[in-house]
Every structure is written in structure tokens, then in C-alpha cells.
């Protein structure tokens, strides 16, 4: 099991179906030929399908755990009220604060691992030793590209997890 993560323009879905009346929030997904692509099924799109565990490990390694889950790793104390996966499923507006956090994470990653190459399917956990081929960097490059693009191009940019 895992997430479907989507970055894009807010979509409000509304139904008055007599058997299943409901409304929910989602996002339009996008495909760009020049978007990050590393040999994954979602290449070039604003959608990812990580497992719950691999996404949480990535968030911890990239220093983004609080931005996604609202808590520091290993704590239950809420430190952010704009966390992107504070509820699951969920839809959260993207803000400049998110952009700043992700851009800072990218700078930290490149400083810590200057020779890192985003490589699908090659996780490099710190406790296993550094490997310049790194799947977690794929996630950070994807996140960096699409959050910056959405904030620059969408009227109502959102991050959706389902």
C-alpha cells in the first residue's frame, strides 16, 4: 500500500447522487516533457506513488518530516499547522513557506551529497553508506520541480494525498 501524491490545480468534485451524495477536493495533474524523469511509471507527471514507509524515510532524510506530517521525526508534538499529509486522504493549499522549505532541502541535499545522482530504485540510506545513485534524490527533484511550477502557474495550487 502507499500514497498517490498529486501536485496541481485545485478541483472541487460535487455530486448530489441520491445513493452517494458528496463533495471532495482533488487536483488536476500535469505532464511536462521536460519534467523530471528517472524511469518510473509516473515520469514527467505531477503524480507519485510511493509506499507509506519510503515516503516517510525520504521526508526524514530530506529534513521535510515536519512539513509533511506536522511533527518532528520521533515526536507526537504538532509543530506545523500547514503540514501536507496531516490527514490521509487530504488536500492542502501549497504556500510560499512550502516552496522555501523544499528549496532549502534541495540546497542542503546538494551540499551534503554534491555528487548525488537521482536514480530510480536505488535508495541510499545513510546508515548503509553513501551511494551517489540515490532514489530519494528522485523524490526531492520531483517535489522541487512540481511545487515550484504549481506555485508559479496555478491559481489555486494544492498538494493532494490519497
Distance, in Å, from the CA atom of 24 to the CA atom of 17, rounded to the nearest integer, reads: 14
4 Rama sector, left if φ>0, alpha if ψ -120 to 50, beta otherwise = beta
Q: State the chain's mean pLDDT as an integer.
A: 90
- Residues 4-25 pLDDT 10s: 999 999 999 998 999 988 888 9
Q: Place 77 in a pLDDT band, splitting at 50, 70 and 90.
A: confident
Give the pLDDT of residue 125.
52
Distance, in Å, from the CA atom of 132 to the CA atom of 119, rounded to the nearest integer, reads: 9
Angle between helices 135-153 and 52-62 (to 10 degrees): 80
Higher pLDDT: 5 or 119? It is 5
User: Count of domains in the chain?
Assistant: 1
Q: Who's near 155: CB < 8 A, 6+ residues apart?
A: 9
Q: Place 130 in a pLDDT band, splitting at 50, 70 and 90.
A: low
- pTM confidence score: 0.89
Q: Place 127 in a pLDDT band, splitting at 50, 70 and 90.
A: very low
Beta strands, E only, 57-122: 90-93, 117-118
Share of the chain above pLDDT 70, in %: 93
Share of the chain above pLDDT 90, in %: 64
Q: Which helix (H) or strand (E) holds 98?
A: helix 96-112
| Residue 102 belongs to domain spanning | 5-161
Cell numbers standing for residue 107: 540546497
Give the pLDDT of residue 129.
52
- Residues 40-57 pLDDT 10s: 899 999 999 999 998 998
Amino acid at each position: 500500500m502507499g500514497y498517490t501524491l498529486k501536485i496541481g490545480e485545485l478541483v472541487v468534485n460535487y455530486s448530489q447522487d441520491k445513493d452517494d451524495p458528496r463533495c471532495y477536493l482533488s487536483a488536476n495533474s500535469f505532464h511536462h516533457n521536460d519534467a523530471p524523469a528517472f524511469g518510473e511509471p509516473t515520469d514527467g507527471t505531477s503524480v507519485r506513488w510511493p509506499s507509506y514507509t519510503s515516503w516517510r524515510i525520504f521526508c526524514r532524510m530530506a529534513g521535510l518530516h515536519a512539513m509533511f506530517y506536522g511533527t518532528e521525526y520521533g515526536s507526537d508534538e504538532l509543530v506545523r499547522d500547514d503540514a501536507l499529509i496531516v490527514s490521509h486522504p487530504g488536500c492542502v493549499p501549497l504556500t510560499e513557506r512550502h516552496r522555501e522549505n523544499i528549496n532549502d532541502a534541495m540546497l542542503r541535499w546538494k551540499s551534503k551529497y554534491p555528487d548525488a545522482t537521482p536514480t530510480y530504485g536505488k535508495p541510499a540510506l545513510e546508515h548503509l553508506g553513501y551511494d551517489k545513485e540515490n532514489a530519494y534524490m528522485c523524490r526531492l527533484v520531483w517535489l522541487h520541480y512540481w511545487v515550484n511550477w504549481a506555485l508559479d502557474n496555478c491559481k489555486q495550487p494544492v498538494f493532494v494525498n490519497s
